[in-house]
């Protein structure tokens, strides 16, 4: 097969290389941290897909040998999880390996993987002539959870996979979870039967912590008192470490419906059970930050021992997550700003960050927004705060922090701000 023919065949593959997953290097580094944390989850039934995604990210970062090793690890893991030597779950993986060997110049090996894809697709055709194989829909949906903003597309792909192969509990669980997540970001109710679908999914997948938490959240949204159920769910600490997203969601529920102090106690208890799990330290730090920074108006000043613990955790995060250093440093500054003895350190951190401004527009927006909030809340420097909210808003990049700064300006606008808002450029998508 000629190089031109091979390229055409490669482009027709369903794999990470053809799913339009190009992102900036800074985003890829953050995604790599997420995938590495998912790898540590006990009983992770998406581990093979995690290795596939991790390998693709390593390739995009220029680490070809690491990518090859992870793709091979993905194949081994997928076969182990499916308890078989081969199957349609390898189509995406073989497509990745075909592309990788093509880019490495090993066209013979690339062609060998193309032949393997053809053999699998012939042996395991899609149940529907008009659709892709459900294994491909499931892995595409799982990947787009990390890369894509189109939550409805994720829902649609999971729904197709689950409908075509209803015995796959994981796919149905993911479909229901993302149906709930999509509704959280929608102004309208997307599915009137959502609660019943979640209840049925929970019966089929009783060990899924994230699903259990979202089910309680949906009950609360419909007016139920869930405090007792939240406490009961948190009762078996030994099983809570297995799901990063589930732990995040559970702690959010604790803060909202129980108390931030109980959330801290729960997070510390789980971390004590699993002291070497990196993302648990991030969760504990989040709980302390929620108490010290975001809940400070409703609580007395925290004890110095709590401040010391929060500061130590956030300083540790700087080394554990070096590619999230800007966020972690601004979070650390926000905690210093609430302390009795180290307030000056907050200004020192912000001035260092402002002096060495990050290159990414979205990172600048985050820095300006957080510094503006610090100036208003902790320094009572309202005019300077407004200036930095305007700096964040003036960057024409769509982001959470730009939206927050514009919202603050709209609530406090005078004639100068009104003119500024009228002249804002539309953000880049």
- Closest to 378 in 3D by CA, of 399, 417, 347, 419: 347
Question: Rounded distance, CA 397 to CA 61, Å?
Answer: 24
Please give the backbone phi and psi of residue 4, each rounded to the nearest 5 degrees, phi first: -65, -45
CB 70 within 8 A of CB 59: no
Confidence of residue 183 (pLDDT cuts 50, 70, 90): confident
- Closest to 316 in 3D by CA, of 303, 305, 329, 307: 329
DSSP state of 294: I
What three-state secondary structure class fits 397? Answer: strand
Share of the chain above pLDDT 70, in %: 92
Number of domains in the chain: 2
Rg (CA), the chain: 24
What three-state secondary structure class fits 24? Answer: coil
pLDDT exceeds cutoff 90 at 296: no
Look at residue 283 in the predicted model and tell me its pLDDT.
95
What three-state secondary structure class fits 281? Answer: helix
Average pLDDT for 181-201: 81
Look at residue 7 in the predicted model and tell me its pLDDT.
45
Confidence of residue 311 (pLDDT cuts 50, 70, 90): very high
- Has residue 303 been placed in a domain? no
Q: Taking all residues of the chain, what is their mean pLDDT, rounded to a whole number? A: 90
Average pLDDT for 196-205: 94
Six token digits for residue 117:
């894809």
DSSP state of 62: T
- Has residue 231 been placed in a domain? no
Look at residue 414 in the predicted model and tell me its pLDDT.
82
- Closest to 291 in 3D by CA, of 328, 316, 258: 258
Q: State the residue range of the domain holding 426.
A: 357-429
Q: How far apart are the first and last CA of the chain?
A: 40
**Tokens 């009137």 map to which residue?**
192
- Has residue 67 been placed in a domain? yes
208-254: pLDDT as tens digits: 999 999 999 999 988 899 999 999 988 876 555 557 788 999 999 99
- Has residue 105 been placed in a domain? yes
pLDDT exceeds cutoff 60 at 24: yes
Cα dist from 25 to 31, 62, 321, 356, 416, whole Å: 10, 10, 15, 19, 37
Six token digits for residue 55:
């390998």
CB 32 within 8 A of CB 53: no
Q: Where is average pLDDT lowest: 10-19, 57-66, 162-171, 291-300? A: 291-300
- Spell 63-89 as b/e; 16+ CB within 10 A means b: eeeebbebbebbbebbbebeeeebebb
H/E stretch holding 174? helix 169-184
- Has residue 144 been placed in a domain? no
CB 230 within 8 A of CB 257: yes
DSSP state of 428: B
CA atoms within 13 A on the CB side of 417: 19
Six token digits for residue 92:
């995406």
- Has residue 200 been placed in a domain? no
Where residue 37 sits, what CATH number does that domain have?
1.25.40.10
pLDDT exceeds cutoff 80 at 425: no
Q: Which residues are paired to 397 by β-bridges?
A: 428
Question: Rounded distance, CA 225 to CA 228, Å?
Answer: 8
Cα dist from 344 to 100, 336, 337, whole Å: 51, 8, 8
pLDDT higher at 301 or 348 = 348
100-148: pLDDT as tens digits: 999 999 999 999 999 999 999 999 999 888 899 999 999 999 999 998 7
- Spell 280-305 as b/e; 16+ CB within 10 A means b: bbbbbbbbbbbbbbeebeeeeebeee
- Has residue 415 been placed in a domain? yes
**Tokens 């650390």 map to which residue?**
332
pLDDT higher at 377 or 3 = 377
pLDDT exceeds cutoff 80 at 416: yes
pLDDT higher at 428 or 121 = 121
- Has residue 349 been placed in a domain? no
What three-state secondary structure class fits 291? Answer: helix
Residue that terminates a domain, selected from 123, 158, 193? 123
Residue that terminates a domain, selected from 88, 123, 158? 123
Average pLDDT for 293-321: 85
Q: Where is average pLDDT lowest: 69-78, 145-154, 420-429? A: 420-429
363-404: pLDDT as tens digits: 999 999 999 999 999 999 999 999 999 999 999 998 999 999
What is the separation of C-alpha 363 from the centre of its chain, rounded to a whole number of angstroms?
A: 17
**Tokens 């938490």 map to which residue?**
213
Residues 287, 288, 290, CA angle at the centre, nearest 5°?
65
Question: Rounded distance, CA 410 to CA 425, Å?
Answer: 16
Look at residue 412 in the predicted model and tell me its pLDDT.
84
Look at residue 5 in the predicted model and tell me its pLDDT.
42
Across the chain, which distance is largest between two alpha carbons, in Å? 73
Residue that terminates a domain, selected from 64, 95, 123? 123
């Amino acid at each position: 097969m000629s190089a031109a023919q091979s390229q055409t065949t490669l482009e027709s593959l369903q794999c990470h290389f053809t799913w339009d997953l190009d992102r900036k290097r800074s985003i890829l580094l953050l995604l790599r941290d997420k995938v590495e944390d998912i790898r540590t989850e006990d009983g992770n039934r998406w581990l093979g897909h995690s290795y596939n995604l991790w390998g693709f990210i390593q390739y995009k970062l220029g680490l070809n040998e690491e990518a090859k090793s992870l793709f091979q690890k993905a194949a081994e893991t997928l076969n182990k999880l499916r308890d078989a030597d081969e199957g349609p779950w390898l189509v995406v993986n073989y497509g990745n390996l075909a592309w990788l060997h093509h880019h490495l110049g090993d066209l013979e090996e690339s062609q060998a993987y193309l032949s393997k894809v053809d053999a699998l697709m012939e042996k395991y055709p899609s149940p529907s002539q008009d659709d892709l194989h459900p294994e491909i829909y499931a892995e595409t949906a799982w990947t787009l959870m990390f890369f894509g903003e189109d939550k409805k597309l994720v829902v649609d792909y999971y729904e197709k996979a689950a409908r075509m192969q209803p015995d796959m509990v994981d796919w149905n669980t993911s479909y229901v979870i993302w149906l709930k997540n999509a509704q959280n970001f929608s102004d309208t109710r997307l599915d009137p039967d959502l609660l019943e679908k979640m209840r049925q999914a929970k019966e089929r997948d009783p060990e899924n912590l994230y699903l259990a938490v979202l089910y309680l959240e949906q009950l609360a949204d419909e007016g139920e008192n869930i405090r007792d159920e939240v406490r009961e769910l948190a009762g078996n600490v030994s099983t809570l470490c297995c799901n990063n997203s589930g732990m995040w969601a559970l702690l959010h529920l604790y803060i909202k419906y129980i108390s931030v102090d109980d959330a801290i106690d729960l997070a510390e208890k789980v971390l004590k059970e699993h002291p070497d799990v990196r993302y648990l330290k991030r969760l504990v730090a989040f709980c302390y930050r929620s108490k010290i920074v975001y809940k400070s108006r409703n609580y007395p000043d925290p004890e110095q021992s709590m401040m010391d613990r929060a500061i130590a955790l956030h300083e540790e995060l700087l080394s554990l997550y070096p590619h999230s250093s800007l966020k972690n440093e601004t979070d650390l500054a926000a905690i210093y700003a609430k302390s009795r003895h180290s307030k000056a350190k907050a200004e020192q951190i912000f001035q260092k960050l402002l002096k060495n401004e990050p290159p990414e527009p979205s990172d600048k927006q985050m820095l300006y927004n957080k510094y503006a909030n610090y100036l208003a809340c902790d320094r009572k420097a309202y005019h300077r705060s407004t200036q930095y909210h305007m700096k964040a808003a003036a960057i024409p990049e769509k982001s959470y922090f730009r939206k927050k700064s514009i919202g603050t300006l709209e609530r406090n606008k005078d004639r100068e701000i009104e003119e500024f808002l009228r002249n804002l450029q539309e953000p880049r998508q």
